[in-house]
Structure 1
Amino acid sequence: MDERAVAPVVAAMLLLAALVMFLSVYNAVVVPSFKEQAEVEHLYAVEESFLAFGSDMTTAAALKQDLHLSKRIPLGGGDTIFDPVRSGGSLRVDQGDTLANVTVDGTPYFCNLTNFSYTPISNFWRDQGYIWQHGYTNVTGAGGLQTPLDYADMDKVREAAERSGFAGSLIEIEHDGRYDNNDNYNCTDVRIWVVTFEPDKKHYFASGNGVGTLSLNAAVEDIRITPSPNTIEIAVNTGLPVPLNTSLWAKCNETFHAMNETYANVENCTFSPKEDLVTLTFTDSEHVPERVTLRLVRVVVSAR
C-alpha cells in the first residue's frame, strides 16, 4: 500500500475541519452580532421618526390650520450583507382619552386625544417598541412594560405635563367687544378653537418588514353658533394618568375671568377646581354676543 497519499488527505481533512469550525463560529457569533447591530440602528431610526412625528402632532395643535404632515418609519431591520433576512413590525393608531369638552348652550364639542405605537415582530435584538401618548413618547417592552424616552421617570413626565404647552394649545378662546349706546363695553364676538385628534377609520394599522408611514391631516371646520348662546362651559378631564388638565384648565379659567371683568354683558364666571369646570354666563338673551364661532380643528392620524 502506497502511504504517500495519506498526508495530503489528512491535511485536506484538517483544513476542511478548520473551515467548518470557522464558519460555525462565524454564524454563531459574528453574524448574530452584526444583525443585532443592524437592529439597533433600525430601532434608533424608528425612535427618531416617533419623536419627529410627535413634534408634528404638537405643531398641528399649535398652528390650527389645514395641513398635511407625514413621517416614513422602517417597520423591519436587522438585515446585513451576509444575512438579508429582516425583522418586521407594526404601526397602530388608537383613540385616546377625552381631555376636555366645550359645551355651548347644552351642545358639547369634544377635545379628544389619540396615540400611535410601533411593535416589533421577530426582532433580532430585543422586543423594544414605542408609543406616543398624552404628548410624550414611551419605550415599550415585553409584558407591557413602559418607560419614558425623554424623561428620567414618570415624576418628571407629570411635572412637564402640568406646564404642557401642548395641552394648553388644544383650546383657545378669542374675544372682541365694543361700547353700546349706553357706554357699556360688551362682548360682541367670541371665537373658540377646539383641537380634537382621531384615528383614521380605514387606515389605522400597518404591518410588514418594509416602510410604513404615519401621517396626519388637519382640517378646520367653522361652526357658527346660532342663536348666540347664553352660557359657555368648559370641563377638563382630571382622570388622566398625567396632569394635562392643569395647564389647560388654568388657561381657560383665566380667560373666562378676564372676560367677566372686562365686559358688561358677562354676568358671572363660576369655576370648580375640584372638577376642573369653568362656566361663563351672559346677562340675558338680549345681551349675548352678536357672533359666536366654534372652530373645530379635526386632526385625523393614519398608519399605512
Structure 2
Amino acid sequence: MRHNDAVAPVVAAILILAVVVTLISAFQVTVVPAMKERSEMEHIAGVEMALLRFSSHIETAAAMKQPLVFSETIQLGGGDTLLNSIKSGGTLYVMNDGEKPLAQINITNHSHSTISNITLINFSYSPVGNYWRDQGYDWRWGVMNVSSGGRETPLIFPTMQVAEESILNSGFPGSLITIKTDWGLIPERFDNGTITGNLIEHISIITIDRVAYSAGNPDFTSGNANTRLALSAKINETRIFNVTELGFRVPDNTLIPESFRYALNNSLGHQLSSLNPTFSQPTWTISFTGHLPDLILRETDIRVTAG
C-alpha cells in the first residue's frame, strides 16, 4: 500500500509533464507560425508602402526640376517575433533602364552641336527566405509591378493594358522634357535689309528643361536590416547662342512601352507647335534663320541609390 502511494505522485507528475509538452508543441506548431506569418505580412506591407512613396518622389522630382533630396527607409527583412527572432531578408536593386537613351535633344549653332540625353532607371525589391508571402516589387516606366511565383502584375491596376493606358494620363513622360519660348519684337525688314517701320514677333530665347535619371553608388544592398532608397537632383544650366537647328529624337526602342513613347511624342508635339516643327519618325526638327534665338538648357540629373 505504501508502495502504491509513492508511485501515484510520480505518475501524476509524468502526466502533467506530458500535457505541458503537448501544449507547448501545439503552441509551437500553430500559434508561433501564425505570429510569424502576420509579422511577415506586416513587413511586406511596409515595404510596399515605402516603395509606392518613393515612386511618387521620382515623379515629383521630374515635375519640380529643382535641387532636392528624397529618401525612404525600407526594412529589407522581417517576420521576427518575441518567441522566434529569425528574420527573412531582402535585396534592393537600382538599374539603368537600357543601354540607349529614352530620348535625345540635339542643339546646333554655327560653331558646334550639343547633345543632351533623357534616361530612366528602374528599381526592385526581392524577398529572401520569406515563406509566408514571397512577394517582390519592380518599378518601371512609372508603374509599380508586384511579382510572386514567377508571375508579375501591376500593383494598383487590374491588368498590364490598363497600367500602360495610365501612362498616357500620368503626365510623367511629358515632364521629362519641357520647353518654353520667350518672344520679343524686332524691326521688320525688306529683302534688301532696309527697315519697313513695322515690328514683328520673334523668338528671342528658348528654355529647355530636361530630366535624366541614373543609378548611383551604391546601387544594390541586401540583408535584413533597415536601408535607404534615395534620390538627389542637381541642376546644370548652359546658354547656347544663335541656335540654327533644334532636334528632339524619341527612338523606336522595343524596350520602351509604346504608350510611354506616344505620351512623350504627344507632349513634344504640343509644346513645339508654335515653332512649326517638321516630324520625320522618330525626330522633331526646327530650323531657324534670320534673327537666331538663344537657348537655355537646364539639365536636371537625378541620381538614385540603394543602401
TM-score (norm 1): 0.90
Alpha-carbon distance, 1:186 to partner: 1.3
Q: Larger Rg: 1 or 2? A: 2
Alpha-carbon distance, 1:216 to partner: 0.5
Alignment length (residue pairs):
288
- In structure 2, what residue type is equivalent to 1:156? V
Cα distance in 1, alignment partners of residues 86 and 125 from structure 2: 20
Residue 271 in 1 paired to residue 271 in 2?
no
Conserved in 2, the CA contact under 8 Å of 1:91 and 1:303?
yes
Match of 1:185 among 187, 201, 215: 201
Conserved in 2, the CA contact under 8 Å of 1:162 and 1:245?
no
- In structure 1, what residue type is equivalent to 2:297? L
Residues 19-98 of structure 1 correspond to what in structure 2 (within 5 A)? 19-97=20-98, 98=101
Conserved in 1, the CA contact under 8 Å of 2:231 and 2:305?
yes
Cα distance in 2, alignment partners of residues 102 and 17 from structure 1: 78
> What's the counterpart of residue 306 of structure 2?
303
Per the alignment, in what secondary structure is the counterpart of residue 73 of structure 2?
strand
Residues 28-177 of structure 1 correspond to what in structure 2 (within 5 A)? 28-97=29-98, 98-105=101-108, 106-143=113-150, 145-177=151-183
From the superposition, tell whether residues 47 and 124 of structure 1 become closer, same or farther in structure 2 (CA, over 3 Å): same
Alpha-carbon distance, 1:276 to partner: 3.8
Alpha-carbon distance, 1:288 to partner: 1.5
Per the alignment, in what secondary structure is the counterpart of residue 120 of structure 2?
strand
Conserved in 1, the CA contact under 8 Å of 2:69 and 2:231?
yes
Cα distance in 1, alignment partners of residues 148 and 115 from structure 2: 38
Cα distance in 2, alignment partners of residues 63 and 255 from structure 1: 18
Task: Give % identity.
Answer: 38
Cα distance in 2, alignment partners of residues 188 and 35 from structure 1: 66
Cα distance in 2, alignment partners of residues 242 and 115 from structure 1: 17
> What's the counterpart of residue 192 of structure 2?
none
Conserved in 2, the CA contact under 8 Å of 1:134 and 1:242?
no
Unaligned runs of 5+ in 1: 261-268
Conserved in 2, the CA contact under 8 Å of 1:163 and 1:246?
no
CA RMSD of the aligned region, Å? 1.5
> What's the counterpart of residue 17 of structure 1?
18
Residue 220 in 1 paired to residue 265 in 2?
no
Cα distance in 1, alignment partners of residues 130 and 208 from structure 2: 47
> What's the counterpart of residue 288 of structure 1?
292
Cα distance in 1, alignment partners of residues 23 and 78 from structure 2: 26
Cα distance in 2, alignment partners of residues 50 and 34 from structure 1: 25
Cα distance in 2, alignment partners of residues 256 and 124 from structure 1: 53
Conserved in 1, the CA contact under 8 Å of 2:145 and 2:154?
yes
Per the alignment, in what secondary structure is the counterpart of residue 167 of structure 1?
helix
Cα distance in 1, alignment partners of residues 115 and 261 from structure 2: 18
Alpha-carbon distance, 1:231 to partner: 1.2
Unaligned runs of 5+ in 2: 189-198
